[in-house]
Chains A and B, each alone.
Chain A
Amino acid sequence: MTEPPEAAPTLELRGVSKRFGPVVACDRVDLSVAPGEIVGLLGENGAGKSTLMKIVLGLVPPDAGEIRIGGRARAVRDPIHAAELGVAMVHQHFSVIDALTVWENVRLGGRGGLDAAALRAEVVKLSETYDLVIDPDARIGDLDASQRQRVEIIKCLRRDPAVIILDEPTSVLTLDQSRRLFEVLRRMVADHQRAVVLISHKLEEILHATDRVVIMRQGRVVREMPTAEADPPTLARAMVGRDVSLRAEASALGLLDELAGQAVTEQSRAGEVVLQVTGATAAGSDGRRLLDGLDLELRAGEILGVAGVEGNGQAALTELFSSLLELDSGRVEVDGGTVASGVPGAMAAAGVGVVPEDRHASGCVLDLTVAENLILADPRRVARWGILDRSRISAEARALIERFEIATPSPDVPFRLLSGGNQQKVVLARELSSDPKVLVASQPTRGLDVGAIEYVSGRIRAAAEAGVAVLLISTELEEILELADRIAVIFRGRLIGEMARSGIDLDRLSLMMGGQAA
Chain B
Amino acid sequence: MTGAGPDSPGGALPAAGAQPDAGSPPPPVRQDSGLVGAVEPASRRLALQTGLFAVFFAGAVVISGGLVASVGGSPTEVLDALLDGSLRSPGAWGRTLVEMVPLALVGLGVVVAFRAGYYNIGTEGQVAMGALGAAVVVLKAPGPAWMLIGLGLAASAAAGGFWAGLAAVAHARRRVDVLISTLLLTFVAPNIILFVVARDYLLLDTTEANTRRASQSERLPDSTHLPDLELFGNTVHIGVLAAVLIVAAVAFLLARSVWGLKLRMLGRNSQTARRAGVRPGVVGGGALVISGAAAGLAGGMFLTGAAFRLQNLIANDFGWHGLLVALVARLNPVGVLPVAFFFASLRTGSGFLTATGISRTVTDVVQALFVVAALLPAAVMVIRDRRVARRLALRSAADAEVG
Cα distance A433–B2 in the bound complex, in angstroms: 8
Cα distance A281–B28 in the bound complex, in angstroms: 47
Determine if B71 is an interface residue (Cβ-Cβ < 8 Å).
no
Residues of B near A47 (CB, < 8 A) are 401
Number of inter-chain CB pairs below 8 Å: 236
Interface-lining segment among A133-141, A402-410, A486-494 = A402-410
Interface-lining segment among A3-11, A67-75, A102-110, A388-396 = A388-396
Cα distance A366–B272 in the bound complex, in angstroms: 10
Cα distance A156–B385 in the bound complex, in angstroms: 36
Determine if B46 is an interface residue (Cβ-Cβ < 8 Å).
no
- Complex partner residue of B256 from A45, A390, A422, CB under 8 angstroms: A390
Residues of B near A372 (CB, < 8 A) are 261
Determine if A265 is an interface residue (Cβ-Cβ < 8 Å).
no
Determine if B143 is an interface residue (Cβ-Cβ < 8 Å).
no
Please tell me if the beta carbons of B30 and A243 are within 8 angstroms of each other in the complex.
no
Interface readout for A429-440 with B: 1 if CB under 8 Å, 0 if not? 000110110010
Given A240-B27, A451-B27, are A386 and B259 neighbors across the interface (CB < 8 Å)? yes
Cα distance A406–B38 in the bound complex, in angstroms: 17
Determine if A99 is an interface residue (Cβ-Cβ < 8 Å).
no
Please tell me if the beta carbons of A50 and B401 are within 8 angstroms of each other in the complex.
yes
- Complex partner residue of A457 from B16, B20, B394, CB under 8 angstroms: B16
Query: Smallest Cβ distance from A261 to chain B, in angstroms?
Result: 20
Interface residues on B, range: 35 or more
Determine if A91 is an interface residue (Cβ-Cβ < 8 Å).
yes
Query: Smallest Cβ distance from A91 to chain B, in angstroms?
Result: 7
Query: Smallest Cβ distance from A259 to chain B, in angstroms?
Result: 15
Interface readout for A227-258 with B: 1 if CB under 8 Å, 0 if not? 00000000000001111110010000000000
Please tell me if the beta carbons of B8 and A383 are within 8 angstroms of each other in the complex.
no
Query: Smallest Cβ distance from B276 to chain A, in angstroms?
Result: 5
Interface residues of B in 363-403 (CB under 8 A from A): 391-392, 394-403
Cα distance A363–B269 in the bound complex, in angstroms: 9
Most interface-central of A364, A376, A378 (chain B CB within 10 A): A376
Most interface-central of A92, A378, A418 (chain B CB within 10 A): A418
Cα distance A405–B14 in the bound complex, in angstroms: 14
Cα distance A403–B275 in the bound complex, in angstroms: 24
Determine if A146 is an interface residue (Cβ-Cβ < 8 Å).
no
Cα distance A365–B276 in the bound complex, in angstroms: 11
Residues of B near A241 (CB, < 8 A) are 27-28
Cα distance A390–B256 in the bound complex, in angstroms: 8
Query: Smallest Cβ distance from B150 to chain A, in angstroms?
Result: 25
Please tell me if the beta carbons of A323 and B274 are within 8 angstroms of each other in the complex.
yes
* B contact patch SS: loop
Residues of B near A459 (CB, < 8 A) are 10, 13
Interface-lining segment among B86-94, B120-128, B179-187, B277-285 = B277-285
- Complex partner residue of B257 from A242, A345, A387, CB under 8 angstroms: A387
Cα distance A130–B47 in the bound complex, in angstroms: 62
- Complex partner residue of A403 from B4, B257, B258, B273, CB under 8 angstroms: B4
Please tell me if the beta carbons of B258 and A380 are within 8 angstroms of each other in the complex.
yes
Interface residues of A in 335-376 (CB under 8 A from B): 344-349, 354, 361-368, 372, 376
Please tell me if the beta carbons of A409 and B35 are within 8 angstroms of each other in the complex.
yes
Total interface residues in chain A, CB < 8 Å: 95
Query: Smallest Cβ distance from A316 to chain B, in angstroms?
Result: 14
- Complex partner residue of A466 from B11, B391, B396, CB under 8 angstroms: B11
- Complex partner residue of A365 from B265, B391, B397, B398, CB under 8 angstroms: B265
Given A379-B261, A419-B34, are A348 and B275 neighbors across the interface (CB < 8 Å)? yes
| Chain B residue at minimum C-beta to C-beta distance from A377 | B276
Query: Smallest Cβ distance from A248 to chain B, in angstroms?
Result: 7
Please tell me if the beta carbons of A23 and B399 are within 8 angstroms of each other in the complex.
yes
Interface residues of A in 467-495 (CB under 8 A from B): 467-468
Please tell me if the beta carbons of B398 and A404 are within 8 angstroms of each other in the complex.
no
Determine if A271 is an interface residue (Cβ-Cβ < 8 Å).
no
Please tell me if the beta carbons of A362 and B395 are within 8 angstroms of each other in the complex.
no
- Complex partner residue of A417 from B3, B39, B400, B402, CB under 8 angstroms: B39
Please tell me if the beta carbons of B7 and A46 are within 8 angstroms of each other in the complex.
no
Determine if B31 is an interface residue (Cβ-Cβ < 8 Å).
yes
Residues of A near B400 (CB, < 8 A) are 45-46, 419-420, 447
Given A23-B399, A48-B398, A366-B269, are A409 and B33 neighbors across the interface (CB < 8 Å)? yes
Residues of A near B14 (CB, < 8 A) are 458, 461-462
Interface residues of A in 211-240 (CB under 8 A from B): 218, 240
Cα distance A248–B345 in the bound complex, in angstroms: 70
Cα distance A346–B34 in the bound complex, in angstroms: 33
Please tell me if the beta carbons of A422 and B258 are within 8 angstroms of each other in the complex.
no
- Complex partner residue of B398 from A18, A399, A435, CB under 8 angstroms: A18
Please tell me if the beta carbons of A383 and B35 are within 8 angstroms of each other in the complex.
no
Interface residues of B in 5-23 (CB under 8 A from A): 7-14, 16-18, 20-21
Please tell me if the beta carbons of B279 and A344 are within 8 angstroms of each other in the complex.
yes
Please tell me if the beta carbons of A417 and B37 are within 8 angstroms of each other in the complex.
yes
- Complex partner residue of B30 from A18, A218, A405, A413, CB under 8 angstroms: A218
Determine if A149 is an interface residue (Cβ-Cβ < 8 Å).
no
Residues of B near A368 (CB, < 8 A) are 261, 264-265, 268
| Chain A residue at minimum C-beta to C-beta distance from B398 | A25
Cα distance A91–B402 in the bound complex, in angstroms: 11
Residues of B near A163 (CB, < 8 A) are none
Interface residues of B in 246-278 (CB under 8 A from A): 256-259, 261-262, 264-265, 268-269, 271-278
Determine if A269 is an interface residue (Cβ-Cβ < 8 Å).
no
Residues of B near A422 (CB, < 8 A) are 34
Determine if B25 is an interface residue (Cβ-Cβ < 8 Å).
yes
Chain B interface residues toward A at CB < 8 A: 1-4, 7-14, 16-18, 20-21, 24-28, 30-39, 256-259, 261-262, 264-265, 268-269, 271-280, 391-392, 394-403
Q: Could you name 6 residue pairs across A and B whose Cβ atoms are closer than 8 Å? A: A46-B401, A47-B401, A361-B272, A407-B34, A447-B401, A467-B9
Q: What are the 6 A-B residue pairs with the smallest beta carbon separation, nearest first? A: A345-B277, A407-B34, A455-B17, A20-B395, A25-B398, A362-B271
